[in-house]
Structure 1
Amino acid sequence: MKTYNVGVIGYGWVATAHIPAINASRQARVTAICSSRPQDDAVLSAKHGGSIKAYTDLDAMLADPEIHAVSICSYSNLHAGHAIKAAQAGKHLIIEKPLALSWEDCQRVAAAVEEAGVKVCVCFECRYSSQLLATRAVIDQGLLGELHYGEVDYYHGIGPWYGQFEWNAKRDGGGSALLTAGCHALDALLLCLGDDVRSVSSYSTRSKSPIFAPYEYDTTSVTILHFADGKVGKCAAVVDCIQPYYFHTQFCGSEGSMLDDKFHSQKLAADKSAWSRLSFKSLDSGDVSDHPYQLQFQAFFDALDAGRDMPLTDLKTALHTHRVIFAADESARTRRPVDL
């Protein structure tokens, strides 16, 4: 089993979740951190364990042949440029969502990755959550029959109480309600209903609360997906709500239905007037420290050992999710459906 030395680009909020998750894997460790704010080697090493070298020059960090992979935790509008530069340096990539703030930049990342032949993990880590793993298991076991409808909604008020609020509220920072955070819900919808989306219709709006006034884009959107086989999906992305975090899932099929942690199936000898309940940890927090990065990153390094693309959150899968997101944002902007 190979040991992978990982360099982290950006030393903000999300990096504080990536670093311990990487170090907790069986075969990887963070050995370098590049930040625009100068850091001290000894302080970083003492805080995160091991020996960590601090950089302010990204080119210098990427030139180190002892670094095998990088974790991109920089501002969203820098993800594409950092990913391309790291791929060109021959480093495997962990890219925090979103891949980029435009479809053109996503394609530039894909081209650089293909040319360099490196492997990629995109942080749609909710696919590795207990909630979505259990939901997929119920669907895959056929307990709901053939699905015809599904909805996954993201409710999380991202206000000034979050450190990233100042840059996230800008159009060239967060991008849209879907890009900044609702992408997790739309990605989960595609995970459960399939990826053959034929058309997208979306509308957006925003709260009148002064709390969310700094946002330069609409902070609530509702997107309807029409699939090639006739299925319909709905995704609400609401980052201006005033309520506890809520990651809502509901699916309806020919043999039953599922609602969050409850399901009802005709295939089971159960009370037809009652739900059956699953036991899992729900996605109930927007704090990155609660996200299942460790499971995702372990799968990534295991895939590197095997010389294959990682499961669930590889670049091809993430690109498709982004394509649907950008189509949804275009639909909301033009108030017209967008065909894929």
Structure 2
Amino acid sequence: MQSYGVAVHGAGWVAAEHVRAFEADARARVVAISSRRAESAERVARETGHSDVVIETDLDVVLGRDDVDIVVVCTPHDLHPENTIAAAKAGKHVLIEKPAALDLASLRAMQDAVAAAGVRTVVSFVLRWNPLFDVIRAQLSNGALGRLFMAEVDYVHGLGPWYAQYEWSRTAAQGRSSFLNAGCHAVDALRYFTDSDIVEVSAYAVEGSDRFEYPGTSVMICKFANGALGKALSNLDDAAPYKFRISLYGDRGTMLDNRIFSKTLPGQTDYAEIPTVLPDSGDVSHHPFLGEVSHLLDCIERGEESHVSLANSMNTHEACIAADISAAEGRVVGLPLP
């Protein structure tokens, strides 16, 4: 069995969870942790029990190491493009924290670099490995909902000074918008459940607080290529606990989070609850990173494209950018963007 060397670049809140996840898969070993500040990388190494890991402040030095096969990009959002392009050009596979980029030109430059290098990528829409998502996909696959014609996902996560990434993600330069900063999780979930790309977006945005340099709350209505409709909410202004609400409507049944009502269950008189783990926490320690990193390793070993690769995630990012355009200009925006 081949062992893949992993370098985690960017030593913020989520970095430690990536380290733990890779170390939990026997096919991987973390060999380097890098950050602009050595003390940040050293802190992650201590937290994860990696006293012998290489600490580095220069990504180029890390990329030049022969024992690094995979780079995890955990830097602030605006640095993802240059980090990803550099890693791809060095021939490294890349796991990119979401959002992959904040603008269309950067997304396309990243994709060009990845395609030219022939490396594997995963964009960290990690909720795809949440057990509720598995339950929902199984119900969709076995026909319990029939033809899905409407899907709604709400990302409600009030962010403020108590949140580790708040100081930089609240800015327009590094957070950009509610959907790009965080609500892209909801947009990705819509695409995952409908199994279709978004082709049209209409959106509104509002400032629900004074905590951000952009409207903290945005809602989009969208049309999918398969004819279904969708709604996504990104609310970073909320004053209540984290919520990730899912509502799926098909011609044979409905799912509301982990509750289902289906014509395939004759005699059913009310929603049935399926016991499972819900995506009900914004704490990254609650997120299923092990499933995500194991999936990336599978893709590398098999030479397969991930269902959440950079290329496959382009539509999610374009939809978020389109929502921002729609809200600012008051018009429907078609995809793909020009």
**Band of TM-score, shorter chain:** over 0.9
Match of 2:311 among 301, 311, 316: 316
The answer (yes or no) to whether the contact 2:71–2:87 under 8 Å persists in 1 is yes
Structure 1 residues 19 and 169: alpha-carbon distance in aligned structure 2, compared to 1, 3 A threshold: same
Q: Which amino acid aligns with 2:287?
A: H
Query: Superposed, which structure 2 residues align to 1:12-23 within 5 Å?
Result: 12-23=12-23
Instruction: Flag structure 2 segments of 5+ consecutive residues without an equivalent.
Output: none
- Aligned mates of 2:45, 2:328 — CA distance in 1: 47
- Aligned mates of 1:61, 1:304 — CA distance in 2: 20
The answer (yes or no) to whether the contact 1:26–1:298 under 8 Å persists in 2 is no
1:263 counterpart residue number: 260
1:29 counterpart residue number: 29
Q: Which amino acid aligns with 2:189?
A: A
The answer (yes or no) to whether the contact 1:157–1:245 under 8 Å persists in 2 is yes
Q: Which amino acid aligns with 1:134?
A: V
Query: Superposed, which structure 2 residues align to 1:1-340 within 5 Å?
Result: 1-39=1-39, 47-49=47-49, 51-207=52-208, 212-272=209-269, 274-310=270-306, 312-340=307-335
Structure 1 residues 263 and 45: alpha-carbon distance in aligned structure 2, compared to 1, 3 A threshold: closer
Structure 1 residues 137 and 52: alpha-carbon distance in aligned structure 2, compared to 1, 3 A threshold: same
Helix, strand or coil: the match of 1:320? Answer: helix
Structure 1 residues 38 and 196: alpha-carbon distance in aligned structure 2, compared to 1, 3 A threshold: closer
The answer (yes or no) to whether the contact 1:41–1:53 under 8 Å persists in 2 is no
With structure 2 as the length reference, what TM-score do the two structures score?
0.95
With structure 1 as the length reference, what TM-score do the two structures score?
0.94
TM-superposed CA distance for 1:163, in Å, is 2.0
The answer (yes or no) to whether the contact 1:195–1:320 under 8 Å persists in 2 is no
- Aligned mates of 2:92, 2:211 — CA distance in 1: 37
TM-superposed CA distance for 1:228, in Å, is 3.4
Following TM superposition, the consecutive aligned residue runs of length 4 or more in structure 1 with deviations greater than 6 angstroms are 40-44
Any idea what the Cα deviations from partners look like across 1:123-176, whole Å, max 9, x if unmatched?
001111111111111111111111111101111101111121110100111111
| Number of residue equivalences | 334
Structure 1 residues 104 and 130: alpha-carbon distance in aligned structure 2, compared to 1, 3 A threshold: same
Any idea what the Cα deviations from partners look like across 1:83-126, whole Å, max 9, x if unmatched?
00111111110100010110110111000001111110110011
TM-superposed CA distance for 1:194, in Å, is 2.8
Q: Which amino acid aligns with 2:35?
A: S
Q: Which amino acid aligns with 2:37?
A: R
The answer (yes or no) to whether the contact 1:44–1:52 under 8 Å persists in 2 is no
Helix, strand or coil: the match of 1:12? Answer: coil
The answer (yes or no) to whether the contact 1:39–1:54 under 8 Å persists in 2 is no
Helix, strand or coil: the match of 2:192? Answer: helix
Helix, strand or coil: the match of 2:38? Answer: coil
Any idea what the Cα deviations from partners look like across 1:185-205, whole Å, max 9, x if unmatched?
110011111323221101000
Structure 1 residues 245 and 25: alpha-carbon distance in aligned structure 2, compared to 1, 3 A threshold: same
Helix, strand or coil: the match of 1:324? Answer: helix
Instruction: Flag structure 1 segments of 5+ consecutive residues without an equivalent.
Output: none
RMSD: 1.6
Any idea what the Cα deviations from partners look like across 1:278-328, whole Å, max 9, x if unmatched?
111100111111111111101111221122223x32222211211111111
Which is further off, 171-180 or 77-86? 171-180
Q: Which amino acid aligns with 2:294?
A: Q
Any idea what the Cα deviations from partners look like across 1:246-265, whole Å, max 9, x if unmatched?
10001111111111110101
Helix, strand or coil: the match of 1:61? Answer: helix
The answer (yes or no) to whether the contact 1:160–1:166 under 8 Å persists in 2 is yes
